[in-house]
Chain A
Amino acid sequence: MVTTTEAAPATMKPESNGVVIDCDIKELHYGTFKAVRDTRIPIQKGTITAFIGPSGCGKSTVLRCLNRMNDLVRGFRFQGHVHFRGKDIYHPGIDPVAVRRHIGMVFQQPNPFAMSIYRNVTFGLRLNGFKGDKAERVEQALRGAALWDEVKDKLHKSGLSLSGGQQQRLCIARAIVTEPAVLLMDEPCSALDPIATRKIEELMVELKKRFTIAIVTHNLQQAQRVADKTGFLYVDTTQGGRTGYLVEFGDTKQIFDDPHEQYTQEYIRGKFG
């Protein structure tokens, strides 16, 4: 039983420069609305990369580009490239479904299915036609998401019966059970209380040993606490409309202690008063 808590071997092949996803957005439109421009963010293996910035700056849009969730939005157009393991995931020959199986996602609102806890976690396994020992993988994933002890006696209760924080950890378990290379988290704590938030943050630091993580957060302290790299996005209103773009990207420490750009400085200082 103890062995299952041990980290499973990493699923990724090492990249030459350690960059798992190289995201370069030239222009991104929703219909006629230009949502994001000129944003280049390399995401390094085994790190947590945070996207910060004011509301409407396109942080979530950029994150959702990384596993083509924006394809669901009508009128979405993308210019640029997102290289994942050396392949541009926006190339017409790429299957977005396959991309999403390697780049998992955790959403702002906990979104477990109306199924039992067990079936929620095995969902991804069943999608992939997994034939092995599901129970073992479920335990492993739930332990990985620091939820096992709380739910081990009620695996067949509905996932919706859990508290908000537990639901979010269930969603994390559901995302990691298939061992994706990258985990995208879109403000995963904004719907949670501080205690649940703290648990998820500790979990993220634990998870980065096995998965590369990209996170969008409104909470600057959260970015400081967990992220290795931070990208600051801002809204450009000069060209008409509100277009988000990357102002600065670097080590979290540098972004917070010694930001090069004036906008970054103002944003971070403003927040801290």
Chain B
Amino acid sequence: MDEQKVLFHNRSLDPQPAVEVDATELEKSLRRPRSLFSYLLSFVTTALTLLALVPLFSVVYMLFVRGGHKLTVACFTQLPPAAFEEGGGFGNAILGTLVMVGISALIAVPVGVLAAVFLAEIGPNTRLAQVVRFAAKLLSGFPSILAGVFAYGAVVMLTGGFSAIAGGIALSLLMVPIVILTAEDSIRRVPARMREAAIGMGATPTQTICRVLLPTAMPGILTGVMLGIARAAGETAPLLFTALFSNYWLINGMKPLMAHPAATLSGALTQPAASLAVLIYNFSSSPFENQQEMAWAAALVLVLLVLATNLIGQSFSKRNVTD
């Protein structure tokens, strides 16, 4: 009690005024260094965030400016122009990209999803799972040119030629790890109580996986597939070693397809195939203006394709799972 009195006494004698909280001190003001610093940091972080968007938007902007006016129906229906030729398009390259990405998805999706089922459900803690998980992570950061070199050695050398199939296989090497990792993650995210519910009802492991885990994880798996497709569609390096390029359609008109469907299809897939990425690579370094402009237009188409794939993938991940 005495101490308090003394303190009180001393303070009242003190020439300095008692400490009072100035309400304005609580307000933000640029005059104070701390506030100023805070404003500055907020500004810098916002600016850097915007800066991260600059490359994407400037690329898309450039593509629209340089390639937009060249984008005509002919682009989708005609073959690439030769050296001094005017006009033309890259229909065969669009088709080739779709076919090769399709082949790679046909390989990568079943392999990736089944591997993910093993990793998430069947033997999550086994030695094999640990090795596969590590390999998938390693492979997802794999330089894509090595996928091309591998497919060159494993497919092109063995089958004796560049082909759409070799291209698809090279791309699938890049898709598989993405599918495995995203699918494993989304299967693991299925709540344990749903697994228990299925098992508690007497579902066999197969039924639990096929009827509960996979359907519940499906949005996530599809997102992963779409990410993989988007990555594969934009790759150039693996295709240079495997599918090379072609100035012609995979299939020459509908007539041979109608007459000998199987032979025509297998013939089409075992010869060099055009792709958007390789067309852009070839034409962008061409001395001919028409070919350069084609490269711009093809780049725009490719970016829009990848963008559309990503948007579709996102819409899957947001979709609510009901019946």
Contacts and interface: CB of A to CB of B under 8 A. Distances in A.
Contacts of A127: 201-204, 207, 211
A97 B203 CA distance: 6
B191 A111 contact: yes
Contacts of B191: 111
Interface string B257-276: 00000000000000000000
A126 B211 contact: yes
Contact of A104 (B201, B204, B212): B201
A97 B201 CA distance: 8
Given A118-B323, A157-B322, A158-B323, A69 B199 contact: yes
A70 to B, nearest CB: 11
A156 interface: yes
B197 A97 contact: no
Nearest to A118: B323
A110 to B, nearest CB: 8
Interface in A138-180: 156-158, 171, 174-175, 178
Contacts of A113: 194, 197-198, 212, 216
Interface in B298-323: 320-323
A109 B193 contact: yes
Nearest to A157: B322
B200 interface: yes
Contact of A105 (B200, B211, B321): B200
A123 interface: yes
Contact of A100 (B193, B201, B215): B201
Contacts of B194: 111, 113-114
A107 B196 CA distance: 9
B215 to A, nearest CB: 8
A269 to B, nearest CB: 35
A107 B197 contact: yes
A67 B193 CA distance: 16
A98 B202 CA distance: 6
A99 B202 contact: yes
Given A113-B212, A116-B323, A118-B323, A107 B200 contact: yes
A158 B193 contact: no
A41 B109 CA distance: 50
Contacts of A105: 196, 200-201
Contacts of B212: 113
Contacts of A8: none
Interface string B192-228: 0110111111111001000110011000000000000
Interface hub of B200, B207, B212 (most chain A Cβ within 10 A): B200
Nearest to B202: A101
A245 B270 CA distance: 70
Given A115-B322, A174-B201, 11 more contacts: A72-B199, A100-B199, A102-B202, A105-B201, A109-B193, A111-B196, A114-B216, A115-B321, A123-B201, A157-B322, A158-B323
17 contacts: A97-B204, A100-B200, A100-B202, A104-B201, A105-B201, A109-B193, A113-B216, A114-B321, A115-B215, A115-B321, A123-B201, A123-B211, A127-B207, A158-B320, A158-B323, A171-B197, A178-B201
Q: Which 5 A-B pairs have the closest CB atoms?
A: A101-B202, A116-B323, A111-B193, A100-B202, A105-B200
